[in-house]
Amino acid sequence: MRYFILALSIALIINGCKKNSNPVASVTNPALSVSQTSDSMQYTFAIPRTVFGIHDTLSASFTAFNQSAEPETLMISEGNFQWSLKNDSGRILMWGPARNPYPLQRIIINSHQSEVIFGIQQAIMDTSGAPVIAGSYMLQGLYDSMLFTLDLSLQ
């Protein structure tokens, strides 16, 4: 009996301390945001959650944060930020904005302040208007030659 308890204890120690069963071990969660810096501006592409329902509205934001000690001026147009939702085979299901001439807008961002400069609020459906199927997807944003990628799931 004593050897059985010893063998059981050793087995629990060996198998119980693996990363996938350790409650203290860090868990990898999909990112809710991704950032890049250009000059003195930090740009962040963010989603409110990584799991959306197939009938939800896709929402995301693109924020500029001024890291410099001086105010920065951005001349932007909605057409400057392109985004797409792709399935795991790379097929584009949704994209925006529509190809239109958008007016330029001047935004002044004070030192150490941030401003949401683009947003996405669109019903989840493919380019033909049909509902999409559940699965893993990639949301990409492109701004000023910077590519931002976030993984999300539709259920």
Helix, strand, coil tally for the chain in percent (to 5): 15, 50, 40
Write down the domain spans for the chain: 30-154
Cβ atoms of residues 48 and 56 within 8 Å: no
| Amino acid identity for residue 84 in this structure | S
pLDDT tens-digit profile of 34-78? 999 999 999 999 999 999 999 999 999 999 999 999 999 999 887
Q: What is the third-level CATH fold of 30-154?
A: Immunoglobulin-like (2.60.40)
- pTM as predicted: 0.77
Spell out a b/e string for 73-86, using b for 16 or more CB atoms within 10 Å of the CB, else e: ebebebebbbbebb
Measure the CA–CA gap between 117 and 77, rounded to whole angstroms: 9
